[in-house]
A and B are shown apart, each in its own frame.
Chain A
Amino acid sequence: MWRDAALVAGKDLRIEARSRVATNQVAPFAVLVLVLFGFALDPDRGILSRASAGLFWVAVLFSALLAVQRSFAIEAVDGGGDGLRLLGLDPAGIFMGKAAAVFVELAALELLLTLGVVVLYGVDLGGAALMVATAAVATLGLAAAGTVYGALSAGLRVRETLLPLLLLPVLAPVLLSATRAWEVALGTSVDDGWRWVQLLGVFAVVYVTFGLVGFGALMEES
């Protein structure tokens, strides 16, 4: 299973590295979202830095949507998905591989967005441990849930519009928890941030488990 996962993750990341879609489209899109928030909220100085945690995670959520869509689009062309199945790879391994690739892409994106938030919104970073832990666990949850729902909408004719409608409500708890935790880390609210990390952890565990077991059934007839 682990070997299969590494193979699939390696394949996906290699495709992204060579096609440059992630670097040329997804990353600029994420930064663009930050800039658009800036345009919309600029007149009230201070509101950007106060809302930065939420805006950051909204930008991550939108980008995650693109990353997941992309992750399954590459299987749709030239019968890639069928190929994966015919190779006899473990479905759990395929799930882990695809989720891992999305995780790596999102993690890189979050670094970029953090830089963007600091530069564009004038945020003072603080509580590094809480920030990193939140980001790691939240991204795991996003990648796992995203991969499950990517498979759920794969192969359907209207998946481009269907996926956001299906996935965004499911990811809402991640947006909520990660935002609250970051608000604590950035000092815009007073609360126990680690509790939110626990909540994110439970979300991630549930979807990783769900994906490991259910992915085979989802892939069967897509």
Chain B
Amino acid sequence: MTAPAHDRLPARSQASFILGAAALLALVSTIVLGLGLPPTLEQGPYARLIAIHPPLAWAAYLAFGVTAITSVLYLWSRTRRRVWDRVAASSAEVGVVFTALTLVTGSIWGRPTWGVWWTWDARLTSTALLLALFLGYLALRGVQTDVHTRAKRSAIAALVAVVDVPVVHFSVEWWRTLHQGRSLAQLTPQSDLDGSYVAVMLLGFMAMTLVYGWLLIERYRVEALEEHFEDQGLDRALEERRAEAEAVVAR
């Protein structure tokens, strides 16, 4: 329980502010430009959801990827730092939000185009599973126990869960699905993607990456603050007890 001399109070940095502003700008322009996309031949106006839905899924992959890498860094004794554990936790939490949003936007897209909110094809099933796996991970993180034990076990759970990420991504190629194939995989001159769609989609990917980065930094800061105040609370309690004891001795 001996907390190391604690790093200074993590304050909101200027870099985070700039990143947040950039993320907001990119997000707003994605939405504005996305709504301005021309309707397509096949899907009409619904195709515009491509500006949001794939980038959300990408951000979820990215978040879980970061969780996996930092989990490995924590498990490997030579690179073991508390920092990695905190980053893994923060990133997974942000990833769960992105996964949930992916499912929600996908469902909203599916209803008018496919005709159903949900179907059990490989893409949808594996994504739902991904959400469940990382909800379990977060539950494990919420357990009150020794910090190292929790970090180690969570890291193992994260490594098992992250195996589902490539499964989600390649599910549309490995299996027959209702879900369409990967759009950006066929980003060639002869592609069926309209030029404006490619541009807005890439903007969307950038926007979600920025949003992810900003959320991660802020979530990490909150995590560090929580630990800081926990340690501080402990220190204060110790001091109070000591003062009480001294008061008794003095009398």
Instruction: Report whether A218 and B156 are in contact in the complex, using a CB–CB cutoff of 8 Å.
Output: yes
Instruction: Report whether B149 and A221 are in contact in the complex, using a CB–CB cutoff of 8 Å.
Output: yes
Interface residues of B in 127-141 (CB under 8 A from A): 129, 132-133, 135-137, 139-140
Q: Give the complex CA separation of A109 and B96 in angstroms.
A: 36
Residues of A near B145 (CB, < 8 A) are 155-157
Instruction: Report whether B143 and A157 are in contact in the complex, using a CB–CB cutoff of 8 Å.
Output: yes
Contact mask B129-165 → A, CB, 8 Å, 1/0? 1001101110110011110110011001100100000
Residues of A near B148 (CB, < 8 A) are 221
> With A166-B136, A169-B129 known to touch, is A152 a contact of B157 (CB < 8 Å)?
yes
Instruction: Report whether B146 and A221 are in contact in the complex, using a CB–CB cutoff of 8 Å.
Output: yes
Residues of A near B143 (CB, < 8 A) are 156-158, 162
Chain B interface residue count, CB cutoff 8 Å, equals 20
A-B pairs with beta carbons under 8 Å apart, 6 shown:
A152-B153, A156-B143, A156-B145, A162-B139, A218-B156, A221-B148
> With A162-B139, A172-B129 known to touch, is A157 a contact of B153 (CB < 8 Å)?
no
**Closest A residue, CB atoms, query B131:** A169
Instruction: Report whether B156 and A165 are in contact in the complex, using a CB–CB cutoff of 8 Å.
Output: no
Q: Number of contacts between A and B (CB, 8 Å)?
A: 48
Residues of A near B132 (CB, < 8 A) are 168-169, 172
> With A166-B139, A170-B133 known to touch, is A152 a contact of B156 (CB < 8 Å)?
yes
Within the complex, the shortest CB–CB distance from B248 to chain A, in Å, comes to 34
Instruction: Report whether A162 and B144 are in contact in the complex, using a CB–CB cutoff of 8 Å.
Output: no
Within the complex, the shortest CB–CB distance from B123 to chain A, in Å, comes to 14
Contact mask A163-205 → B, CB, 8 Å, 1/0? 0011011101000100000000000000000000000000000
**Closest A residue, CB atoms, query B154:** A152
Chain A interface residue count, CB cutoff 8 Å, equals 20
Instruction: Report whether B152 and A169 are in contact in the complex, using a CB–CB cutoff of 8 Å.
Output: no
Q: Give the complex CA separation of A157 and B143 in angstroms.
A: 8
Interface of B is mostly: helix
Residues of A near B135 (CB, < 8 A) are 165, 169
Interface residue? A81 (CB, 8 A): no
Interface residue? A111 (CB, 8 A): no
Residues of B near A169 (CB, < 8 A) are 129, 132-133, 135-136
Within the complex, the shortest CB–CB distance from A146 to chain B, in Å, comes to 13
Within the complex, the shortest CB–CB distance from B75 to chain A, in Å, comes to 8
Within the complex, the shortest CB–CB distance from A52 to chain B, in Å, comes to 19
Within the complex, the shortest CB–CB distance from A176 to chain B, in Å, comes to 8
Q: Give the complex CA separation of A157 and B153 in angstroms.
A: 14
Interface of A is mostly: helix
Q: Give the complex CA separation of A166 and B125 in angstroms.
A: 17
Interface residue? A125 (CB, 8 A): no
Instruction: Report whether A165 and B153 are in contact in the complex, using a CB–CB cutoff of 8 Å.
Output: no
Q: Give the complex CA separation of A152 and B152 in angstroms.
A: 10
Instruction: Report whether A218 and B153 are in contact in the complex, using a CB–CB cutoff of 8 Å.
Output: yes
Interface residue? A132 (CB, 8 A): no
Q: Give the complex CA separation of A176 and B133 in angstroms.
A: 16
Within the complex, the shortest CB–CB distance from B125 to chain A, in Å, comes to 8
Residues of B near A170 (CB, < 8 A) are 133, 136, 160
Residues of B near A172 (CB, < 8 A) are 129, 132
**Closest A residue, CB atoms, query B137:** A166
Within the complex, the shortest CB–CB distance from B38 to chain A, in Å, comes to 40
**Closest B residue, CB atoms, query A158:** B143
Residues of A near B146 (CB, < 8 A) are 221
Instruction: Report whether A165 and B152 are in contact in the complex, using a CB–CB cutoff of 8 Å.
Output: no
Interface residue? A217 (CB, 8 A): yes
Interface residues of A in 120-171 (CB under 8 A from B): 152-153, 155-158, 162, 165-166, 168-170
Residues of B near A153 (CB, < 8 A) are 140, 153
Residues of B near A156 (CB, < 8 A) are 143, 145
Instruction: Report whether A166 and B152 are in contact in the complex, using a CB–CB cutoff of 8 Å.
Output: no
**Closest A residue, CB atoms, query B138:** A165
Residues of A near B144 (CB, < 8 A) are 157
